[in-house]
Chains A and B, each alone.
Chain A
Amino acid sequence: MNERTQTSGLGFVGQSVTRVEDDRLLRGKGQYVADIEPEGVLHAAFLRSPFAHATIRSIDVTAARRSPRVTAVFTAAELNELTNPFPPFLMMPGLYTPLYMCLSDKKVRHVGDPVALVLADSRYHAEDALELIEVDYEQLAPVASIADALSVNAEQVWERADGNVLLDKSDAYGDVESVFASADRIVTERFSCQRQSNQPMETRGSVIEVDPETGHLTIHNATQSSHMLRWLTAALAKKESVRSSLKNFATNKDRRDSFIVAAKEFMAQNGESMQNQDNAGPKSQLRKDRSMLRHLPRTLFGLLGKDDYPTVMARDIGGGFGAKGPVAREDIALAAAAIDLGRSVKWIEDRVENLSDGGHAREEDLTVSLALDNDGTFRGLKVDLVLDQGAYPAFPIGASMATQIMRVMFPGAYKFDAFHLRARTVATNKGKYVAYRGPWANETWARERIIDVAAKALGYTPTDLRLKNMFSDQDMPAAMITGPALDETMSTKKTLEHAMQVVDIDEFRDEQETARAEGRYLGLGFACYHEAAPGPPDYFDSISPGAGTLGTEYARTTIERDGSIVVYTSQMPHGQSHETTYAQIVADELGVGIADVKLVYGNTDRTPFSVMGTGGSRGGPLGGGSVKYSSREVRQQVIDAAAELLEASADDIDIMDGNIHVSGVPARGVSFADVAATVISEGDQPFDATFGYTGKGDGGWSCATHACIVEVDLETGRVDIPRYVVVEDCGPIINPAIVNGQVRGGVAQGVGAVLYESSVYDTEANLQATTYMDYLIPTAMEIPYVEVHHLETLSPGENDFRGVGEGGMIGAPPAITNAIEDALGPFGARVTDQYLPPTKILEMAGIIDPD
């Protein structure tokens, strides 16, 4: 379809409408954070540790300060005087979250750990001055791997942890022991996934403008979560004593009133899920470290006592994939410096910094035991998971949260009598672990791998073994053994059956045999999953009691005086095309064209609050739902006013192409502006509705099967992917082209994960992949054509959309690794690593020696 001339009446939802975002972006007129350059802004550069683990004996910044182009140099100790530590968030039983400051003053914990901040008139000069700073380090033994971290002799990254273990939590469902004792077979394998990195093409960055009159901060930032950044900056970047905060709170009536209003609103919306929180989390934290009792009051009262919170503005963002969700230590350091100097500051991360600490993910070891009977029936599953979170926990959602999503999702689409998972998070001297597209994805990888291993052991085909154990429509309603309810939206089995029609397995087996005779090695792999997108109402609480507060999305729809339609969302788009899909939804609700709808996002002064912003495949179902229902309310307001104007019953009013009229007489219609003019109101918005949405109820599962065919070249170890098929079911689709783009982009990252990408550290915890020469992002040559097939299973009720952002990356690593193991079948290869570069392939085929 073409552009902005689309007329309504057809229904935009369901069509591959071209993107509203494109015009400015394709002209080079987007506004990414690096494009913002306030008058007189100071440019920042961080001095970073060259060592993985060391104490800081002394730091000398005199020469740097003397440099004529340098305005200020802050050592860590100086900035830490001005700021509060990052507090624990979403505490959980068995977890200790170390508190940490924006810069490191006594000890560095990974290569790249920031120790000082220079501000100069240009980035060139700021970087020049870094070379003038002298730091005297005393090196400590590095903790470079999961094995190091678990060794009793290791140096501790965090003094108060149990060795280097931050989380140790076990959960059992069903009678695990008796199920394992009575099962015919137990298949066990240890899987290991390398450290990967999200690597959006735009790095992180922040430009903080200081209003010279009022001191008010406006933070332009490449963030997936603008409100969280605003609150945390307010809480951490300017330390205040409890006494002065309280005094301010008591004496400033406006401040107090607005706090009370906000608190009431928050409790009304989230009170119930807050009550689900138990004390076990905070107790675990306090057992290890009581310092939060000292810091938290100052942080919280500091918030209450502030007259002025920063405004966060985010406009165009060059991708995130989870890496821009956390509030960065640098964000807080920059804000503190800007406040202290009263000057605007700008920091654009470079790629070397980004590869080191812009976000790593997925480094996990998983030992999986599958208990099953000889007839192929799955009985139980036992998992021992260890996750390497690096040194500093990401805020607000740390690595340990990923282990708990893995716990809930591990059983997948299969029926089990018992399940046990022990989850450990360890600290090492590496960059921080962040959520990366489908942060729990290794549960699918390990599960789908062990199923293939078991199929081989029992003489089943991988597809037969899966089909035999999957939930099917006849089982519904049902529940995963870990809790969440299942309904007809759990259609994974249907996606597998469909994939088996798309890919003719028998034909492939013939081809495989012929090829082998010619010395060519083909393999076929399947992977099946479902993801909560958004999932049923009990989903978040099954991960961590009280986490339901993360679930709500808000939107506000207004009609302005001039009749224009403005929609405000708490979502924070960064490539997902919200401006297009939301305009489709709103245009259908209001009977207008796509071009009539303007979406406002990213500006915390104007958009509704959300803890999370964009992440977790919630933009379509939840963000879209909130947009839909706020627009529907506004439609009713408009119709009620129009009914008076047109002297008709509201039931008879229709809106078509922006023409509001009595059904059947469009010639006598009025416009939105006409109706707005009749409404006596003070503000600019005669019509205005806000809607908070948590989902339509049960279900909310998005499902898929990936099928991958590989050809492995035993000369070079290279893996080609001649065919890649995704059969996905995210329910009704808002915009098929955009859904296909999300699926293909996710698969591309999965291809990278298996064949090319590794944030590898050496035994001294030095990162070996600090440029794109070593961290290999796949190009157009490496990414195969991905066939996408859609099933659209409907479930009762409206707003049946389900998210689709994560799935591509969840399904690809297991489908590809399963295919590679199949290809290398003649060599008896067993794939236990996710990362399979050419050398590994040749090792598995016995062509080269592992050493």
Chain B
Amino acid sequence: MTVSFTLNVNGAATEVSTEPRRTLSDVIREDLGLTGTHLGCEHGVCGACTVLLDGAPVRSCLTLAVQADGHEITTVEGLANGDELHPVQQAMHEAHGFQCAFCSPGFMLSTVALLAENPNPSRHEIREELSGNLCRCTGYHTILDGVEVAIRALASDGASGGGDA
């Protein structure tokens, strides 16, 4: 059995036809070829698969693709504006945020959502908000630094947050 529907990802609409049991992460990666969304655990803990659904972070490994019908999805590929990195990406680069970077899509999308809601979180709030994402390489310090660099960059840009990327 297959179902057909439209998936809106990074501003582009694609018709997909898939078994209903397939996850959003699998459809994004396999059918749309957007492999920047990573799968670390496939059971909802690591956060590597985080994408934005209408601006709010969701675990795409626990979301069925059909559930995204009618919503706007943002993946890591949707962050940069052509050659120009998104301020969060640029900040992570400057702060030496990641090592293997397997966790990076989840962290960056969670950060984008966090700063859209609260443009000026404290270090403690950042830690708390990002505690749903696991990183095994960095010990987190540089990722948290990266968020703070992004906060400053966004503030000086006069931007109010990176919500819809």
Q: How far does the alpha carbon of A551 sit from the alpha carbon of B138 in the complex, in Å?
A: 27
Interface residues of A in 55-96 (CB under 8 A from B): none
Given A201-B135, A319-B136, A783-B140, also A124-B22 (CB < 8 A) = yes
Contact B85 A350 (CB under 8 A): no
Interface residues of A in 292-337 (CB under 8 A from B): 316-319, 321
Q: Nearest chain-A residue to B102 (Cβ)?
A: A318
Contact B76 A28 (CB under 8 A): yes
Given A26-B101, A202-B102, A744-B141, also A19-B35 (CB < 8 A) = no
Asked if B15 CB lies within 8 Å of chain A CBs, one says: no
For the complex formed, measure the closest distance between the CB of B99 and the CB atoms of chain A, giving whole angstroms.
Answer: 4
Contact B19 A124 (CB under 8 A): yes
Contact B99 A576 (CB under 8 A): yes
Asked if A668 CB lies within 8 Å of chain B CBs, one says: no
Asked if A595 CB lies within 8 Å of chain B CBs, one says: no
Most chain A C-beta atoms within 10 Å of own C-beta, residue among B21, B39, B40, B102: B102
Contact A34 B100 (CB under 8 A): no
Interface residues of A in 740-797 (CB under 8 A from B): 740-741, 744-749, 771-773, 777, 779-781, 783, 785-786
Which residue of A27, A317, A781 is within 8 Å of B127 (Cβ)?
A: A781
Contact A18 B139 (CB under 8 A): no
Asked if B66 CB lies within 8 Å of chain A CBs, one says: no
A574 surroundings in chain B (CB, below 8 A) = 100
Q: How far does the alpha carbon of A27 sit from the alpha carbon of B39 in the complex, in Å?
A: 16
For the complex formed, measure the closest distance between the CB of B44 and the CB atoms of chain A, giving whole angstroms.
Answer: 8
Most chain B C-beta atoms within 10 Å of own C-beta, residue among A2, A27, A201, A781: A201
Q: How far does the alpha carbon of A771 sit from the alpha carbon of B45 in the complex, in Å?
A: 9
Asked if A737 CB lies within 8 Å of chain B CBs, one says: yes
Most chain B C-beta atoms within 10 Å of own C-beta, residue among A25, A29, A30, A31: A25
Q: How far does the alpha carbon of A373 sit from the alpha carbon of B22 in the complex, in Å?
A: 68
Contact A321 B136 (CB under 8 A): yes
Interface string of B53-69 (1 = CB under 8 A from A): 00000000000000000
B34 surroundings in chain A (CB, below 8 A) = 28
For the complex formed, measure the closest distance between the CB of A810 and the CB atoms of chain B, giving whole angstroms.
Answer: 15
Contact B38 A202 (CB under 8 A): yes
Contact A201 B45 (CB under 8 A): no
Interface string of B88-105 (1 = CB under 8 A from A): 010011101011111111
For the complex formed, measure the closest distance between the CB of A555 and the CB atoms of chain B, giving whole angstroms.
Answer: 22
Most chain A C-beta atoms within 10 Å of own C-beta, residue among B21, B48, B135: B135
Q: How far does the alpha carbon of A785 sit from the alpha carbon of B140 in the complex, in Å?
A: 9
Asked if B128 CB lies within 8 Å of chain A CBs, one says: yes
Contact B139 A747 (CB under 8 A): yes
Contact A18 B100 (CB under 8 A): no
Asked if A272 CB lies within 8 Å of chain B CBs, one says: no
Which residue of B37, B85, B130 is within 8 Å of A27 (Cβ)?
A: B85
Q: How far does the alpha carbon of A129 sit from the alpha carbon of B65 in the complex, in Å?
A: 23
Asked if B32 CB lies within 8 Å of chain A CBs, one says: no
Given A18-B94, A27-B76, A27-B77, also A202-B100 (CB < 8 A) = yes
Contact A25 B30 (CB under 8 A): no
Given A34-B35, A124-B22, also A19-B96 (CB < 8 A) = yes
For the complex formed, measure the closest distance between the CB of A687 and the CB atoms of chain B, giving whole angstroms.
Answer: 32
Interface string of A572-593 (1 = CB under 8 A from B): 0011110000000000000000
B126 surroundings in chain A (CB, below 8 A) = 780
Q: How far does the alpha carbon of A749 sit from the alpha carbon of B137 in the complex, in Å?
A: 8
A781 surroundings in chain B (CB, below 8 A) = 127-128, 131
B138 surroundings in chain A (CB, below 8 A) = 741, 744-745, 748
B19 surroundings in chain A (CB, below 8 A) = 124
Interface residues of B in 110-135 (CB under 8 A from A): 126-128, 130-135
Q: Nearest chain-B residue to A203 (Cβ)?
A: B40
Q: How far does the alpha carbon of A25 sit from the alpha carbon of B19 in the complex, in Å?
A: 31
Q: How far does the alpha carbon of A777 sit from the alpha carbon of B138 in the complex, in Å?
A: 13
Q: Nearest chain-B residue to A742 (Cβ)?
A: B99
| Main SS class of interface, A | loop
| Main SS class of interface, B | loop
Q: How large is the interface on B (under 10, 10 to 19, 20 to 34, 35 or more residues)?
A: 35 or more
Q: How far does the alpha carbon of A779 sit from the alpha carbon of B138 in the complex, in Å?
A: 11
Q: How far does the alpha carbon of A551 sit from the alpha carbon of B131 in the complex, in Å?
A: 40
Q: How far does the alpha carbon of A781 sit from the alpha carbon of B104 in the complex, in Å?
A: 18
Asked if B8 CB lies within 8 Å of chain A CBs, one says: no
Asked if A199 CB lies within 8 Å of chain B CBs, one says: yes
Q: How far does the alpha carbon of A37 sit from the alpha carbon of B29 in the complex, in Å?
A: 10
Q: How far does the alpha carbon of A29 sit from the alpha carbon of B78 in the complex, in Å?
A: 11
Asked if B52 CB lies within 8 Å of chain A CBs, one says: no
Interface string of A373-400 (1 = CB under 8 A from B): 0000000000000000000000000000
Q: Nearest chain-B residue to A321 (Cβ)?
A: B136
Q: How far does the alpha carbon of A771 sit from the alpha carbon of B48 in the complex, in Å?
A: 15
Q: Nearest chain-A residue to B130 (Cβ)?
A: A780
Q: How far does the alpha carbon of A30 sit from the alpha carbon of B108 in the complex, in Å?
A: 15
Q: How far does the alpha carbon of A96 sit from the alpha carbon of B79 in the complex, in Å?
A: 54
Asked if B9 CB lies within 8 Å of chain A CBs, one says: no
Interface string of A160-179 (1 = CB under 8 A from B): 00000000000000000000
Contact A21 B101 (CB under 8 A): yes
Contact B141 A201 (CB under 8 A): no
Interface string of A343-374 (1 = CB under 8 A from B): 00000101100000000000000000000000
Which residue of A16, A27, A37, A777 is within 8 Å of B80 (Cβ)?
A: A27
Which residue of B36, B40, B79, B140 is within 8 Å of A202 (Cβ)?
A: B40
Asked if B41 CB lies within 8 Å of chain A CBs, one says: yes
Asked if A738 CB lies within 8 Å of chain B CBs, one says: yes
Q: Nearest chain-B residue to A29 (Cβ)?
A: B36
B135 surroundings in chain A (CB, below 8 A) = 201
Asked if A35 CB lies within 8 Å of chain B CBs, one says: yes
A211 surroundings in chain B (CB, below 8 A) = none
Interface residues of A in 575-623 (CB under 8 A from B): 575-577
Contact B92 A22 (CB under 8 A): yes
Q: Nearest chain-B residue to A320 (Cβ)?
A: B100
Given A22-B92, A779-B134, also A28-B36 (CB < 8 A) = yes
Interface residues of A in 689-747 (CB under 8 A from B): 737-738, 740-741, 744-747
Which residue of A22, A738, A749, A786 is within 8 Å of B136 (Cβ)?
A: A749
Q: How far does the alpha carbon of A194 sit from the alpha carbon of B93 in the complex, in Å?
A: 37
Given A200-B102, A351-B41, A772-B41, also A748-B140 (CB < 8 A) = yes
Contact A28 B37 (CB under 8 A): yes
A259 surroundings in chain B (CB, below 8 A) = none
Q: How far does the alpha carbon of A777 sit from the alpha carbon of B46 in the complex, in Å?
A: 9
For the complex formed, measure the closest distance between the CB of A572 and the CB atoms of chain B, giving whole angstroms.
Answer: 12
9 shortest interchain CB distances as A-B pairs: A28-B36, A318-B102, A575-B100, A748-B139, A744-B139, A772-B45, A28-B76, A35-B35, A25-B101
Question: Can you show 8 pairs from A to B with CB atoms below 8 A apart?
Answer: A26-B76, A201-B103, A316-B100, A318-B101, A319-B99, A771-B41, A777-B46, A783-B141
